[in-house]
């Protein structure tokens, strides 16, 4: 069996059983409280640069299938679990969790007290950590310090990396439609075959695959564009709406996306124009930041599928799936805009909208796979604002 060490910046060291690839990785230590959906989590680009701890005791019991992924790779730099299932079973499984991690050169540690670890993060906040996974039979030094472990890290480019969207997003525009109950990629040349379809641009800051599905299945050509594109390049596709996607990192760090969104918002807010905008997760934070609201880093963030939010307009409550470290201060939302949802646990802003224009955003994931689909209707609202 492989050996593994998890070394926290505060000096705490955990020794456990290693799985996945034999690597040494550095990342921000975070936790997720979901009982299921680990495949969706580890393929979510929003986890790029992080070491992901699952608080649910048993992980890996139904294996991994490519059908369940939110992208085509593993994005956390490491995984932490209490108990790893080595004999998973599901009719659609293609590999075990350990085999899947090894395929993408990512390591994991099992057999440690994740409840204690979550309590540490909740008390002290998210913190840097190093995960060391050794070869079978290799003995790792349990007395190693965080500084000594950090010196062994080879993924130095990920330390202090600021431009996460460009690291995980597409580098060129792609097109998708919904055909035969499947999200289907088409070429730009094939767009002529869908001339009767309206188009929605999705700005890919680390977009989850199910966001593409939810837009495409409502009868649109989804034009998925890289985050460094210009508004003029987007306009050439004659899009009828814009989705600003989820993604990793600090929304205050991406000036090229800020410039793009300033142009899009300025165009949409012009009384002569009609261009609905829908921001999701990082997209919500980016829109909030652009309009002048204050964005701040939370102590340990919200990551899980049981986050309760309330619609301020009709007082209805919903369970939501979330994965974020940053939030918006409600008292800083500028005139002309209003809060749309509030978190019932911590009172953070869970959405906002413009009072007169079809522009709105949510902090949670309305596509929510895996997780609750209580707020899937928001895509329908977005579609109605287009039509």
Distance from C-alpha of 121 to C-alpha of 349, rounded to nearest angstrom = 22
Catalytic residue status for 281: yes
Please tell me which residue in 158, 205, 281, 284 is annotated as part of the active site.
Answer: 281
Structure tokens at 358: 């079809």
CA dihedral 51, 38, 206, 306 (to 10 degrees): -100
- Quote the Cα angle for 118-122-126, to 5°: 90
The answer to whether the peptide bond before residue 276 is cis (omega within 30 degrees of 0) is no
Tell me how far apart the alpha carbons of residues 289 and 74 are, in angstroms, rounded to a whole number.
Answer: 29
Q: In 3-state terms, what secondary structure has residue 351?
A: strand
- Of 350, 354, 367, 369, the active-site residue reads 367
Concatenated DSSP letters of 276-338: -EEEETHHHHHHHHHTT--EEEEEEEEEEEEEEEEETTT--EEEEEEEEEEEE-GGGPPTTEE
- Checking DSSP bridges between strand 58-59 and strand 78-80, what pairing results, if any? unpaired
Please work out, in degrees rounded to the nearest 5, the angle formed at the alpha carbon of residue 167 by the alpha carbons of 103 and 4: 40
Q: Residue 77's closest CA among 43, 49, 53, 99?
A: 49
Q: Which two tokens stand for residue 317?
A: 């409550």
Name the burial class of residue 95, with classes exposed (0-12), middle (13-18) and buried (19+) by CB atoms within 10 angstroms of its CB.
middle
Spatial separation of the C-alpha atoms in residues 332 and 354, rounded to whole Å: 14
- Just list the catalytic residues: 281, 365, 367
């Amino acid at each position: 069996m492989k050996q593994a060490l998890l070394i926290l910046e505060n000096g705490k060291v955990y020794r456990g059983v290693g799985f996945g690839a034999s690597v040494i990785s550095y990342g921000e230590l975070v936790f997720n409280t979901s009982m299921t959906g680990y495949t969706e989590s580890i393929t979510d680009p929003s986890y790029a640069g992080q070491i992901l701890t699952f608080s649910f005791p048993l992980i890996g019991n139904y294996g991994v299938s490519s059908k369940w992924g939110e992208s085509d790779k593993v994005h956390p730099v490491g995984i932490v679990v209490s108990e790893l299932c080595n004999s998973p079973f599901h009719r659609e499984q293609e590999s075990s969790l350990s085999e899947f991690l090894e395929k993408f050169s990512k390591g994991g540690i099992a057999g440690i007290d994740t409840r204690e670890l979550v309590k540490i993060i909740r008390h002290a906040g998210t913190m840097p950590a190093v995960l060391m996974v050794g070869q079978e039979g290799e003995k790792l030094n349990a007395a190693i310090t965080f500084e000594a472990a950090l010196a062994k890290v080879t993924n130095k480019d990920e330390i202090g990396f600021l431009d996460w969207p460009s690291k995980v997003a597409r580098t060129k525009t792609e097109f998708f439609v919904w055909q035969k109950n499947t999200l289907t990629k088409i070429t730009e040349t094939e767009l002529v075959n869908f001339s009767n379809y309206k188009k929605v641009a999705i700005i890919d800051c680390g977009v989850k695959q199910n966001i593409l599905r939810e837009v495409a299945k409502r009868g649109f050509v989804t034009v998925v564009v890289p985050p460094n594109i210009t508004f003029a390049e987007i306009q050439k596709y004659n899009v009828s709406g814009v989705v600003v996607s989820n993604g990793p990192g600090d929304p205050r760090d991406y000036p090229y996306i800020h410039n793009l969104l300033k142009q899009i918002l300025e165009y949409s807010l012009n009384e002569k124009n009609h261009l609905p905008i829908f921001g999701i997760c990082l997209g919500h934070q980016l829109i909030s930041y652009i309009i002048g609201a204050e964005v701040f880093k939370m102590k340990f963030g919200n990551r899980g599928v049981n986050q309760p939010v309330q619609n301020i307009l009709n007082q209805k409550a919903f369970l939501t799936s979330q994965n974020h470290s940053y939030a918006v201060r409600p008292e800083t939302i500028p005139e002309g805009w209003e809060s749309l949802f509030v978190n019932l646990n911590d009172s953070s802003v869970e959405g906002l909208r413009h009072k007169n224009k079809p522009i709105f955003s949510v902090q949670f994931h309305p596509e929510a796979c895996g997780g609750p689909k209580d707020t899937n209707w928001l895509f329908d609202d977005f579609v109605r604002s287009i039509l």
